[in-house]
């Protein structure tokens, strides 16, 4: 069995047992070559065309090979300058290249264009599966190295506790901070009890909007290593503003109708508008900060961003309420 996929390299996944040919070989020669040697190859999705110095020049798909005339040379049929990677390419980028270009396998080169072998379709799927599992665990606040042992029934109780408890402890601390914040506005809530009834919906809406943004930015960063961050952030803020406006208007209107209190409706509208925008900005910026600090951006999702978002949402809600009530 092949070695476990490394976070920083894919060298152990390279296989050199693939069909190769020279530029001047004919299609007829290649078909005969495959017929004789096919059992020796790990993968025959493509034939890799090399020059005399083992430099990758192009690829020929099996479909292209079988539909070409026998006298034609490989150089006339091949797809030149194929997508390739190096031994140090990040696993996420391998998956991105395969998905974005519809590749069944990806050649690996070094020292310019020297052909080392390929990453097969099977291993690309393994990388993809591992990265997705890691992100799911981190999104749920589980500190765990992805592997079969976590889902195995033999996994120890102590191991399960160590994997899941850290973020929950941080969550308790965040909850205490939120409770302390609410306590500072106890007199406000006592004098305007209807405010307390809308705390759950305020927190839920900002969390929901933030979670959507977290999922989108992390997916985009993983699949597109050349993502235009400036454009992405500006677009996300525009989207957040529209979502916040619609959600705030609807919530404010419902608060006004159900409580017959225009002041409460205004508080709910403004608070939800600003808290959703703040939550989306936090959810979008946090993974970028973690990436700059050389941490996995997925760590910024789930409990950490939720705790920060909840505290800021409560601060905005109670602050807006205090301001508007003071003006009346």
CB neighbourhood size of 209 (10 A)? 24
Output the pLDDT for position 136. Answer: 60
CB of 284 within 8 A of CB of 217?
yes
Mean pLDDT of the chain: 84
Give the percent of the chain with pLDDT over 70.
84
Phi-psi region of 165 (alpha: psi -120 to 50; beta: other; left: phi over 0): alpha
Query: Does residue 35 have a pLDDT over 70?
Result: yes
Distance from C-alpha of 19 to C-alpha of 323, rounded to nearest angstrom: 73
Q: What is the pLDDT of residues 228-274, one digit of tens each?
A: 888 989 999 999 999 999 999 999 999 999 988 999 999 999 999 99
pLDDT given for residue 328 in this prediction: 73
**pLDDT, position 266:** 95
pLDDT in the model for residue 137: 60
Q: How far apart are alpha carbons 162 and 174 in whole angstroms?
A: 19
Pairing of strands 56-61, 114-119: unpaired
Give percent of the chain above pLDDT 90.
Answer: 42
pLDDT, mean of residues 43-63: 92
> What token pair was written down for 112?
């310019």
What local confidence, expressed as pLDDT, does residue 162 receive?
Answer: 72
Compute the distance between CA of residue 144 and CA of residue 156 in angstroms, rounded to an integer: 13
Distance CA 308, CA 206 (A): 11
The per-residue pLDDT for 312 is 94
The band of 148, judged by pLDDT with boundaries at 50, 70 and 90, is very low
What does the pLDDT look like over 122-145, one tens digit per residue? 888 888 877 766 666 655 555 544
Tokens of residue 51, six digits: 């020059």
What are the chain's domains?
11-127 (3.10.580.10), 157-327 (1.10.357.20)
CA pair distance 300, 64, nearest whole angstrom: 45
Contacts of 119 (CB under 8 A, 6+ apart): 10, 13, 14, 15, 85, 94, 105, 106, 108
Instruction: Please compute Rg for the chain using Cα positions.
Output: 28
Strands 20-22, 46-50: pairing kind = parallel
Token pair in block for residue 38 = 């096919």
- Listed in sequence order, the residues at least 6 apart from 66 whose beta carbon sits closer than 8 Å to its beta carbon are 31
Q: Tell me the backbone φ, ψ of residue 163, rounded to 5 degrees.
A: -75, -30
Mean pLDDT within 53-82: 92
The pLDDT-based confidence of 147 (bands split at 50, 70, 90) is very low
Residue 155 has pLDDT above 70, yes or no: no
pLDDT value of position 2: 44
Say whether pLDDT at 163 is over 70. Answer: no
Q: Is the pLDDT of residue 64 over 80?
A: yes
pLDDT value at 146 more than 50: no
Partnered with residue 26 across adjacent β-strands are 73
What was the pLDDT predicted at 255?
92
Phi/psi of residue 175, each to 5°?
A: -65, -40
User: Residue 304: CB partners within 8 Å, gap ≥ 6?
Assistant: 167, 170, 286
pLDDT per residue over 191-218, tens digit each? 888 899 999 999 999 999 998 888 888 7
pLDDT bin (cut points 50, 70, 90) of residue 3 is very low
Least confident of 62-66, 116-120, 301-305: 301-305
Q: Find, among 227, 194, 214, the residue nearest to 309 by Cα.
A: 214
Inter-CA distances, 21 with 50, 78, 120, 267, 284, Å: 6, 11, 18, 72, 47
Helix ranges (DSSP H) in the chain: 27-37, 62-66, 74-77, 91-101, 121-139, 148-151, 157-184, 186-191, 194-197, 199-223, 229-259, 262-292, 303-327
3-state secondary structure string, 197-228? HCHHHHHHHHHHHHHHHHHHHHHHHHHCCCCC
| Mean pLDDT on 290-314 | 76
pLDDT of residue 320: 94
């Amino acid at each position: 069995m092949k070695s476990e996929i490394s976070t920083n390299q894919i060298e152990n996944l390279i296989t050199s047992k693939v069909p190769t040919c020279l530029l001047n070989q004919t299609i007829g020669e290649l078909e005969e070559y495959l017929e004789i040697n096919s059992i020796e190859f790990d993968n025959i999705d493509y034939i890799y065309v090399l020059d005399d110095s083992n430099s990758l020049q192009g690829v020929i798909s099996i479909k292209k090979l079988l539909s070409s005339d026998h006298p034609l040379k490989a150089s006339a049929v091949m797809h030149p300058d194929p997508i390739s990677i190096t031994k140090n390419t990040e696993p996420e980028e391998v998956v991105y290249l395969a998905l974005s270009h519809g590749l069944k396998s990806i050649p690996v080169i070094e020292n310019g264009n020297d052909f080392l072998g390929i990453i097969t379709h099977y291993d690309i799927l393994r990388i993809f599966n591992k990265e997705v599992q890691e992100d799911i665990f981190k999104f749920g606040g589980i500190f765990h190295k992805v592997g079969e042992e976590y889902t195995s029934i033999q996994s120890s109780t102590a191991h399960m506790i160590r994997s899941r408890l850290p973020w929950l402890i941080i969550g308790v601390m965040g909850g205490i901070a939120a409770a302390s914040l609410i306590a500072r506005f106890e007199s406000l809530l006592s004098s305007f009890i209807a405010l307390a009834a809308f705390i759950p919906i305020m927190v839920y809406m900002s969390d929901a909007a933030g979670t959507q943004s977290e999922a989108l930015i992390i997916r985009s960063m993983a699949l597109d290593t050349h993502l235009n961050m400036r454009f992405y952030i500006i677009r996300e803020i525009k989207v957040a503003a529209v979502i916040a406006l619609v959600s705030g208007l609807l919530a404010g209107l419902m608060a006004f109708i159900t409580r017959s209190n225009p002041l409460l409706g205004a508080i709910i509208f403004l608070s939800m508008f600003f808290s959703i925008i703040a939550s989306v900005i936090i959810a979008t910026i946090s993974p970028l900060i973690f990436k700059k600090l050389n941490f996995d951006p997925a760590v910024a999702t789930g409990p950490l961003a939720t705790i920060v978002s909840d505290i800021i949402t409560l601060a905005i809600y109670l602050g807006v309420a205090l301001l508007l009530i003071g003006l009346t």
